[in-house]
Amino acid sequence: MLDLFADDAPWSEPLAEGAVILRRLVRDEGAALLALVLDVAAQNPFHHRITPGGHRMSVAMTNCGDLGWSTDARGYQYSEQDQATGRHWPPMPPRFRQLATAAAAQAGFADFQPDACLINRYEPGAKLTLHQDKDEKDLRQPIVSVSLGLPAVFQFGGFERGDATQRVLLEHGDVVVWGGPSRLRFHGILPLKAGVHPVAGAYRYNITFRRAR
């Protein structure tokens, strides 16, 4: 039985209305989740996408599920196939789907069923600038974001890019869920600091679940 009073027990840390960090929620199964990530990457390798403005993203990404998110000169889009290869995305592992649904429910969003899973790999110096997740058709559905590997500083802002941001450290096994009144808040990741994680080595991996259609 889980001892809720143990120093390493999971706990919830509110960020804003409709947004919460589920600290250490999946820390104990981090190695198993990372193995699933690497299995997806073996089928669809990590790739540095090019933004519509012609910039190479510092974060490498892959996808799994019915739909995958990508960016190129034509813009940002979800599609059933990787536009770079013409192949369908790998299927979403059942454990990923279970994790996303359970975490969303714990954060107050019942019946979340993701159809897209974006996986980002960060190396030292990689970052994700402030942005909104707004390419999904149903913005009533939350975002579920899982951190594995090296720690990173997560920025969680307001509804305009220039709004003040909270800066919180995300560590291996933390899960962030946001939706409802916080669904369109700007968020990002500051440049990753170098280090070596016992499970993930020199990288941080971020598994993000969405309902895209």
Binding-site residue numbers for Fe cation are: 131, 133, 187
126: its two tokens: 């990689």
Check residue 157 and give its pLDDT: 98
Q: How far is CA 193 from the centre of its chain?
A: 18
pLDDT given at position 5: 41
pLDDT in tens, the chain (213 residues): 344 444 567 899 999 999 999 999 999 999 999 999 999 999 999 999 988 888 899 999 999 999 999 887 777 889 999 988 889 999 999 999 999 999 999 999 999 999 999 999 999 999 999 999 999 999 999 999 999 999 999 999 999 999 999 999 999 999 999 999 999 999 999 999 999 999 999 999 999 999 999
Binding residues for substrate: 69, 76-78, 135, 161
Binding site feature residues: 69, 76-78, 120-122, 131, 133, 135, 161, 187, 204-210
Burial of 9 (0-12, 13-18, 19+ CB in 10 A): exposed
Instruction: Give the pLDDT score at 64.
Output: 98
What pLDDT does 158 receive? Answer: 97
Q: Which is nearest to 40 in space by CA: 96, 106, 90, 109?
A: 90
Return binding residues for 2-oxoglutarate: 120-122, 204-210
The pLDDT assigned to 58 comes to: 97
Provide the pLDDT for residue 73: 73
Which pLDDT score, from 0 to 100, does residue 76 have? 86
Instruction: Specify the pLDDT at position 7.
Output: 57
The predicted pLDDT at position 84 comes to 81
Say which residue the tokens 């500051």 belong to. 190
CA distance 98 to 175: 14
